[in-house]
Amino acid sequence: MQAYDVVIVGAGHAGAQAASLLRQRGFTGSVAMVGEEPELPYDRPPLSKEYLSGEKPFERLLLRPEEFWPNHEIEVLRNTRIVGVDTGAHQLQTDSGESIGYGNLIWAAGGAPRRLSCAGHDLAGIHYVRTRADVDAMRVELDSVDEVVVIGGGYIGLEAAAVLSTRGKSVTVLEAQDRVLARVAGEPLSRFYEGAHRARGVDIQLNTQAEEILGDGGRVKGVRLGDGRVMPAQMVVVGIGILPAVAPLAEAGVETQAGGVMVDEFCRSSVADVFAIGDCAAHHNAFCAIAGPMRLESVQNANDQAKVVADYLTGNPQPYNALPWFWSDQYDLKLQTVGLSVGHDQVVLRGDPDAASFSVIYLKDGCVLALDSVNLVRDFVQGKALVKNRVAVDPGALADASVPLKSLAVPA
């Protein structure tokens, strides 16, 4: 049986950052990183953007050069899936039947795309956007595709729609709610992005669900909607969220909440020597206006939680208190978000959406919770202090684009 002082399950952003930072912090014990894919750790956000479009080759997505891992004595176990955890014996069971021993376990396994369950869900031509292999399969088929239906109007669905539309495909987006980005943004931002996509030829269908995927010879030929209409399609792209990969830990008795492994401020789980970070970790976030555990699916969260664990394991414990931020690139529109808008009771529009340069600011009890900026980096940068310090600001001043946000970022 192989055994290591630290085993990291997951070779995405969180896992790779944890391994790198352990060495940077001077950790001298043995480290192994276990990943299900054949690739070395790579940058995932470009999958639905530059990699799908062909603008960026895979080699430019690698988080570290190939030689980095052996040079830093980090063993990368590829094509390996962990199916069982024995927390008492400090052992992991792989899908090939092998055992791996650990001193400390960092669970950074992320999640898998939520799959369709309707009739026809298993037809060829249905694609999810989570791994390089997922996008490679899409790219192989694109030359024979004229019409695409995208199921889900979140970031992944809209980013894919933007790339596919730019490549000349006829694209329809199906969103079950009454606006796109409904789970993560306020109505002004949703309506802006609906208009931006429609102006570029994308058909946005709101309050609409796929009833059945229709096929011909085992391949997709269309999507039947709940009202009986049929949308022709030779490809279906699904972006309806992820299912956190936590089953082996849950079966081992580790506490889970909000769909993820419940962790404290040092990313420690309910079981000794087991940590969780990234998409699959549930935590209480200091910047959330609503009490209760939550998961954050972002590169920022993955990297910052990796830092917390690396610091803890090298004798310098620092609690997680990072300010959340996110981004999305669609067409020539750069969306940058800071903070968590959930629980807001007021929305302030700053700037002009018609000029494709504006911000949407979210408040709770008069204090700034979060900010979305479209093609307005200045507001994103200056607005961080407003969010971090929960500054109470007059909405009129926030709405005045001639007033720099940095001039308002002084706590009362």
Sole residue written with tokens 């001043």: 397
Q: Which of 61, 82, 80 is nearest to 245 (CA)?
A: 82
- Give backbone dihedrals phi and psi of 33, rounded to 5 degrees, phi first: -120, 125
Helices in 79-147 by DSSP H: which ranges? 132-141
Q: Does the 2-112+243-313 domain belong in CATH 2.40.50.100? A: no
Q: Does the 115-238 domain belong in CATH 3.50.50.60? A: yes
- Give backbone dihedrals phi and psi of 397, rounded to 5 degrees, phi first: -70, -40
Per-residue exposure over 333-366, b if at least 16 CB sit within 10 Å of its own CB, e if not: bbbbbbbbbbebebbbbbbebeebbbbbbbbbee
Ranges of each domain in the chain: 2-112+243-313, 115-238, 332-408
d(CA 300, CA 278): 9
d(CA 159, CA 44): 13
pLDDT per residue as tens, the chain (412 positions): 899 999 999 999 999 999 999 999 999 999 999 999 999 999 999 999 999 999 999 999 999 999 999 999 999 999 999 999 999 999 999 999 999 999 999 999 999 999 999 999 999 999 999 999 999 999 999 999 999 999 999 999 999 999 999 999 999 999 999 999 999 999 999 999 999 999 999 999 999 999 999 999 999 999 999 999 999 999 999 999 999 999 999 999 999 999 999 999 999 999 999 999 999 999 999 999 998 999 999 999 999 999 999 999 999 999 999 999 999 999 999 999 999 999 999 999 999 999 999 999 999 999 999 999 999 999 999 999 999 999 999 999 999 999 999 999 875 4
pTM across the whole model:
0.96
Q: Are 360 and 352 in contact (CB under 8 A)?
A: no
Same fold, 2-112+243-313 and 332-408: no
What architecture is domain 332-408? 2-Layer Sandwich (3.30)
Sole residue written with tokens 């994308």: 202
Per-residue exposure over 87-102, b if at least 16 CB sit within 10 Å of its own CB, e if not: beebbbbbeeeeebbb
Q: What is residue 41's DSSP assignment? A: P
Q: Which helix (H) or strand (E) holds 92?
A: strand 91-94
